[in-house]
Amino acid sequence: ILNVEQSPQSLHVQEGDSTNFTCSFPSSNFYALHWYRWETAKSPEALFVMTLNGDEKKKGRISATLNTKEGYSYLYIKGSQPEDSATYLCAFSNAGGTSYGKLTFGQGTILTVHP
Amino acid sequence: DGGITQSPKYLFRKEGQNVTLSCEQNLNHDAMYWYRQDPGQGLRLIYYSQIVNDFQKGDIAEGYSVSREKKESFPLTVTSAQKNPTAFYLCASSKGRAERELFFGEGSRLTVL
């Protein structure tokens, strides 16, 4: 079983603060790295899928970077808003064989943004 | 509206009973997945299917069974052999390869009494 670690486990910030989380994954045979946002009582929704070392993706105030050589990805939220409160999940896939299409999730980072 | 429908949302079962969770998608996706979530843990993969009539075990397949007779449907049976079945179960689908995002259902919460 692949090991995908997210830190911190939880985070409380004030509205307007910028914040970031980390996802660590095995650096060998990298294939893809996903970020999802999971709001309470809703389904997880994809934020980004990254496949190339050095990838940077942005969606509004949220951005992500990827370093496949050292096995980590950062998710940044600029100017956090209460509606950003959610659990943020990363998921990793390595290449080929029987793992084709298989994603392993980290345990998530719970973000709470206080007004 | 395209999406994934899981049913039932809540299910109670007595020990020793099998129960089947339904997952249907109308997104025309080839791949479907079942994940389980326990408190304080990430989503753990139970089974996945890349194509009709084919499926693979995930990391925690013991005590579960699946079928993929139709592209739209991927039901999960929690058997009496599953030692700790009380959990939240999520179904997902994708276009098939791991660089494609997953689309999730709203989940089914199973409680064993």
Give pLDDT tens digits for A14-26. 999 999 999 999 9
Given B40, B45, B101, which is nearest A102 (Cβ)? B45
Measured CA to CA, the distance from residue A73 to residue A75 in angstroms comes to 7
Contacts of A1 in chain B (CB under 8 A): 59
Closest CA–CA distance from residue B100 to any residue of chain A (Å)? 7
Contacts of B105 in chain A (CB under 8 A): 43
According to the model, what pLDDT value does residue A101 have?
65
Q: pLDDT tens digits, residue range B19-28?
A: 999 999 999 9
CA B15 vs. chain centroid, Å, equals 20
Contacts of A42 in chain B (CB under 8 A): 106
Measured CA to CA, the distance from residue B15 to residue B89 in angstroms comes to 18
CB-CB under 8 Å, A46 with B56: no
Query: Which residues, in sequence order, are CB contacts of A60 under 8 Å at separation 6+?
Result: none
Q: Residue A82 above 70 pLDDT? A: yes
Using the Cβ of B58 and the Cβ atoms of chain A, whether some distance falls under 8 Å is answered with yes
Given B41, B50, B102, which is nearest A103 (Cβ)? B102
DSSP one-letter code for B70: B
> Which of B99, B100, B108 is the mutation pick for testing A, counting most A CBs within 10 A?
B99
Contacts of B4 in chain A (CB under 8 A): 43
According to the model, what pLDDT value does residue A38 have?
96
CB-CB under 8 Å, A34 with B45: no
Name which of A115, A114, A109 is nearest A47 in CA terms: A109
Could you tell me the two tokens for A9? 């486990």
Please report, in tens digits, the pLDDT of each residue of chain B (113 residues total).
Answer: 679 999 999 999 988 899 999 999 999 999 999 999 998 888 999 999 988 999 999 999 999 999 999 999 999 999 988 889 999 999 999 987 777 889 999 999 999 98
Tokens 């079928």 belong to which residue?
B67
